[in-house]
Amino acid sequence: MYHSNNTSGFRPSRVRAGPTTFIRDLPYSVLVNVAKQLDPDGTSTTWRDLALNIPISSMNPNPRFTNNDIQHFELSTQRGKSATEAVLQAWATSNVTAQDLVNVFHKMHLPKLADIVLPPEPLPQRRFDPPSYRETMGLDAEPSKAPTHQSTGFQQTASHVSSTQSMGKREPIEHDSMSLRQPTENCTTDISEHLSLEELSLDKNLPSFSYSDLSELTSNFNESCKLGEGAFGSVFSGNLHLPKHKPIKSDARKIAIKRLKLDAPDLAVAVAEQFKKEIHIISELEHENILPLVGYSCDGPELCLVYDFMFNGSLSSNLQGCREGTNQLSVAQRLQIAEGSAAGIEYLHNKKLVHRDIKSSNILLDTETRPRISDFGLIRSVISAPETTSTVTKNPIGTPLYMAPEAIRGEVSTAMDVYSFGIVILELLTSRAVYDRDRSPPSLLDYVMDKCDEQQDAIMDLIDNEAGHWRYSVAMEIYELSSDCLNYRRKTRPAMSKVLTNIRTMREKMH
For the domain 315-510, what is the CATH code? 1.10.510.10
pLDDT of the residue at 204: 61
pLDDT of the residue at 162: 37
Cβ-in-10-Å burial (0-12, 13-18, 19+) of 444 comes to buried
Sequence spans of domains, the chain: 23-117, 156-308, 315-510
Query: Cβ distance 345 to 421 under 8 Å?
Result: yes
| Helix or strand holding residue 259 (H, E) | strand 254-260
As a whole number of angstroms, the distance between CA 239 and CA 242 comes to 10
| Helix or strand holding residue 478 (H, E) | helix 472-485
As a whole number of angstroms, the distance between CA 495 and CA 428 comes to 20
pLDDT tens track of the chain, all 511 residues? 334 343 333 333 444 578 888 888 888 888 888 988 888 876 667 888 898 889 988 777 888 888 778 878 888 777 778 889 889 988 988 788 889 999 999 888 888 888 888 887 654 444 333 333 333 333 333 333 333 333 322 223 223 333 333 344 333 333 333 444 444 343 434 434 334 444 455 666 788 888 998 988 888 998 888 887 765 678 898 887 655 444 444 444 789 998 887 665 656 677 777 788 778 888 889 999 999 888 898 888 888 989 989 989 899 999 999 999 999 999 999 999 999 999 999 999 999 999 999 999 999 999 999 999 998 878 888 865 445 555 655 455 667 889 898 887 788 999 999 999 999 999 999 999 999 888 988 899 999 999 998 788 899 999 999 999 999 999 999 999 999 999 999 999 999 999 999 999 999 888 7
For the domain 156-308, what is the CATH code? 3.30.200.20
Query: Cβ distance 431 to 424 under 8 Å?
Result: no
What is the DSSP pairing of strand 353-354 with strand 380-381? antiparallel
Cβ-in-10-Å burial (0-12, 13-18, 19+) of 331 comes to buried
Q: Which residues of 21-46 are buried (b: 16+ CB within 10 A; e: fewer)?
A: bbbbbbbbbbbbbbbbbbbeeeeeeb
Cβ-in-10-Å burial (0-12, 13-18, 19+) of 308 comes to buried
Which residues partner with 226 through β-bridges?
236
Query: Cβ distance 428 to 76 under 8 Å?
Result: no
pLDDT of the residue at 20: 85
CATH 1.10.533.10 for domain 23-117, yes or no, is yes
Q: What is the DSSP letter of 294?
A: E
pLDDT of the residue at 265: 60
pLDDT of the residue at 421: 98
Q: Which residues are catalytic?
A: 357
